[in-house]
C-alpha cells in the first residue's frame, strides 16, 4: 500500500507486532544454534512464495529449521506399544489395511486417500459441497472402522464432529503441493537444500521488518471497539478513546475477536453469521528441555501419542543420541481446551505428571521452558480457523466480500495457502481491492 503511494496506518491491539507470529524471549539450543522458541508461526516452507519474496527484498538472513522428530510409541488404553509392534498389537483394533497405518499418521493418511480435490480452490466449488460434513460422517460414509474413527481422534488431534471435512481436505491438497517445491534430491532421495527454514532472530523478524517499511509507526495497544462506515470514509474507535478516520479499513482481526467489535451498519447476513460463528481450534504447547534421553531406559520411541491428557509429545533429535534433547507437548482441539482451562502453572505441572505416570522413565527428566495456549490469548481466542460442518457452504465465499469501505484479511480469509503464506495471500488480496477503489 505504501509502495503505491497510499498513506497507511496500522493499529495493533497488543503491545507488539506480529499477531500469531510470535517469537518468545525464551530460547533453546538446536543443531542450528540458539534460537527463540516459536509460539506461533515457526517455519518458512519451500512454497511460501510471498514470504520468501519479502525475506529477499528485506534482506533477512535465514537458518535451517531443526525439528527432526524421534520415532513414536503409543500409550493406548492404558498400555504402551512401540511403532514396530503396532500393526500386530492386540491394542490395534482397526481392520484390514487400516492396521498398517501408524496412529500419528492415521487421520492424514485417510484424508489423502479420500480426497477428491485437485485444485487449491476446489473447496469453494459447489461440486464438492457434499464434503462439507464432519470428519466423523466422512469416515463413516467411506467404511472406516469404528476403531479407526476412534484412533483418528486419539490425543485430541481431530474434532471429529465439529470440523468440516472439506476444510481438512483442502489442507491435505495444499500440503501435497508443498512437496513439489522441495527442489533437487540427493542420491538418498532427500532434498539437497534444507527445508523448512526459519529467520535469524525468529519468524518475528519478518513482520518487524515489514512494519519498519511503513510511512507511519505502528500504533500499539490500540484495541478496536467500533468501526463506523460512512459514504466517504470510516471511523475507528479504540478502547482508550482514540478515534481514527480513514478512506478505507482493512481488518485482519480474527473473527473470534472481531465479533466483539461493533460494526455499523451491520454486515450482510452471511458475513455477519461468519463473524459471529466461525470456530477457532485450540493449540496448546509446552516447550521442554529433556535432560537425558529417557526412552533409552524404557526402550520405547522418544516421541509419543497418548489417548489421554498428555496428547502428543515430540522428542526432537539432537543428532548425537546422548545428552540433552528438546521436546514439545502438542495439544489441540478438545484435549487442548481441557488442559488450557487450568492456570499455566497447573497445566504445565499436569503435563509433566501425566507423562511421568505413563512413562515412569521420564521422571525428573523433563523441564518445561515455556507454556503457551492460544485459546487464552484475548486478541486471538484460538489458534486456527476451523469451519464447522456446513459453514463453508453457508458463508465461506461471502465472508471476505468488502463491506462498504471495510475490507477483510488474515489467515481466516485464506483461499489457497496456509501458514504465514496464507496471511500474506490475504493481505495482498485486500490491498489490491483497496487500490482498485482508491
DSSP labels, 76-116: ETTEEEETTTGGG-TT----GGGGGS-GGGHHHHHHHHH--
Considering the domain 283-373 in this protein, what is its CATH number? Answer: 3.90.660.10
Q: At what angle do helices 205-212 and 49-57 cross, to 10 degrees?
A: 60
36: three-class secondary structure by DSSP: strand
Rounded Cα gap, residues 151 and 103, in angstroms: 7
pLDDT of residue 1: 67
Domains 218-280+380-437 and 283-373 share a fold: no
From the CB of residue 289, how many other CB atoms can be counted at a distance below 10 Å?
Answer: 15
User: pLDDT truncated to tens, each residue of the chain (438 aa)?
Assistant: 667 778 999 999 999 999 999 999 999 988 888 999 999 998 999 999 999 999 999 999 999 998 899 999 999 989 999 999 999 999 999 999 999 999 999 999 999 999 999 999 999 999 999 999 999 999 999 999 999 999 998 877 789 999 999 999 999 999 999 989 988 888 888 888 989 999 999 999 999 999 999 999 999 999 999 999 999 999 999 999 999 999 999 999 999 999 999 999 999 999 999 999 999 999 999 999 999 999 999 999 999 999 988 999 999 999 999 999 999 999 998 889 999 999 999 999 999 999 999 999 999 999 999 999 999 999 999 999 999 999 999 999 999 999 999 999 999 999 999 999 999 999 999 999 999 998
Rounded Cα gap, residues 48 and 124, in angstroms: 22
Q: At what angle do helices 106-114 and 165-179 cross, to 10 degrees?
A: 90
323: three-class secondary structure by DSSP: coil
Rounded Cα gap, residues 421 and 419, in angstroms: 5
Name the CA dihedral angle for 347, 205, 215, 228, rounded to a multiple of 10 degrees. Answer: -20
Question: Which class in CATH covers the domain with range 218-280+380-437?
Answer: alpha beta
Rounded Cα gap, residues 128 and 424, in angstroms: 26
C-alpha distance across the termini of the chain, in Å: 11
Q: Which three cell numbers stand for residue 38?
A: 516459536
DSSP string for 225-275 = EEEEE-SS-EEEEETTS-EEEES-EEE---HHHHTTSEEESPPPHHHHHHH
Kindly report the pTM of this predicted structure. 0.95
> By the 8 A CB rule, do 247 and 404 touch?
no
Rounded Cα gap, residues 220 and 406, in angstroms: 20
Q: Which three cell numbers stand for residue 295?
A: 526412552
Q: Fill in the DSSP letter of residue 2.
A: T
pLDDT of residue 32: 82
From the CB of residue 188, how many other CB atoms can be counted at a distance below 10 Å?
Answer: 5
DSSP string for 334-396 = HHHHHHHTS-HHHHHHHHHHHHHHH-GGGTTTEEEEEEEESTT-TTTSSSEEEPPTTHIIIII
Rounded Cα gap, residues 324 and 10, in angstroms: 42
> By the 8 A CB rule, do 192 and 46 touch?
no
For 97, residues 6+ apart whose C-beta sits below 8 A from its C-beta are none
Could you tell me the CA-to-CA distances from 99 to 54, 110, 308 in Å, in that order? 45, 12, 21
352: Cα separation from own chain's centroid: 24
Give the helix/strand (H/E) hosting 67: none
Domain boundaries along the sequence of the chain: 101-179, 218-280+380-437, 283-373
For 399, residues 6+ apart whose C-beta sits below 8 A from its C-beta are 255, 270, 271, 274, 275, 278, 408, 413
Amino acid at each position: 500500500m505504501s509502495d503505491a503511494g497510499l498513506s497507511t496506518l496500522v493499529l495493533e491491539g497488543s503491545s507488539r507486532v506480529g499477531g500469531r507470529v510470535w517469537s518468545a524471549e525464551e530460547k533453546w539450543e538446536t543443531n542450528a544454534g540458539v534460537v527463540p522458541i516459536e509460539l506461533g508461526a515457526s517455519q518458512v516452507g519451500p512454497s511460501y512464495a510471498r514470504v520468501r519474496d519479502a525475506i529477499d527484498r528485506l534482506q533477512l538472513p535465514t537458518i535451517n529449521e531443526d525439528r527432526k522428530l524421534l520415532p513414536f510409541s503409543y500409550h493406548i488404553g492404558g498400555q504402551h506399544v512401540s511403532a514396530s509392534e503396532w500393526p500386530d498389537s492386540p491394542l490395534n483394533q482397526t481392520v484390514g489395511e487400516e492396521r498398517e497405518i501408524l496412529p500419528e499418521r492415521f487421520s492424514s493418511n485417510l484424508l489423502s486417500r479420500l480426497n477428491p480435490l485437485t485444485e487449491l480452490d476446489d473447496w469453494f466449488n459447489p461440486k464438492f459441497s457434499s464434503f462439507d460434513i464432519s470428519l466423523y460422517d466422512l469416515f463413516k460414509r467411506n467404511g472406516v472402522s469404528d476403531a479407526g474413527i476412534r484412533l483418528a481422534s486419539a490425543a485430541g488431534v481431530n474434532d471429529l464432529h465439529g470440523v468440516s471435512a472439506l476444510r481438512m481436505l483442502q489442507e491435505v491438497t495444499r500440503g501435497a503441493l508443498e512437496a513439489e517445491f522441495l527442489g533437487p534430491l540427493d542420491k538418498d532421495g532427500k532434498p539437497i537444500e534444507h527445508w523448512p527454514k526459519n529467520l535469524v532472530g525468529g519468524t518475528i523478524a519478518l513482520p518487524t521488518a515489514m512494519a519498519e517499511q511503513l510511512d507511519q509507526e505502528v500504533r500499539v495497544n490500540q484495541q478496536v471497539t467500533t468501526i463506523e462506515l460512512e459514504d466517504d470514509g470510516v471511523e475507528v474507535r479504540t478502547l482508550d478513546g482514540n478515534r481514527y478516520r480513514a478512506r478505507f479499513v482493512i481488518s485482519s482481526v480474527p473473527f473470534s475477536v472481531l465479533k466483539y467489535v461493533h460494526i455499523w451498519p451491520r454486515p450482510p447476513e452471511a458475513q455477519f453469521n461468519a463473524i459471529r460463528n466461525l470456530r477457532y481450534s485450540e493449540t496448546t504447547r509446552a516447550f521442554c528441555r529433556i535432560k537425558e534421553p529417557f526412552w533409552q531406559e524404557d526402550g520405547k520411541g522418544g516421541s509419543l501419542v497418548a489417548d489421554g491428557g498428555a496428547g502428543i509429545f515430540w522428542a526432537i533429535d539432537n543428532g548425537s543420541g546422548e545428552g540433552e534433547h528438546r521436546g514439545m507437548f502438542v495439544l489441540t482441539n478438545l484435549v487442548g481446551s481441557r488442559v488450557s482451562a487450568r492456570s499455566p502453572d497447573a497445566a504445565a505441572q499436569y503435563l509433566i505428571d501425566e507423562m511421568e505416570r505413563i512413562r515412569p522413565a521420564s521422571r525428573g527428566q523433563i523441564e518445561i521452558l515455556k507454556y503457551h495456549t492460544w485459546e487464552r490469548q484475548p486478541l486471538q481466542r484460538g489458534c486456527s480457523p476451523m469451519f464447522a460442518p456446513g459453514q463453508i457452504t453457508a458463508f465461506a465465499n461471502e465472508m471476505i466480500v468488502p463491506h462498504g469501505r471495510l475490507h477483510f484479511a488474515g489467515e481466516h480469509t485464506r483461499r489457497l495457502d496456509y501458514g504465514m503464506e496464507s496471511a500474506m495471500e490475504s493481505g495482498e488480496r485486500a490491498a489490491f481491492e483497496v487500490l482498485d477503489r482508491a
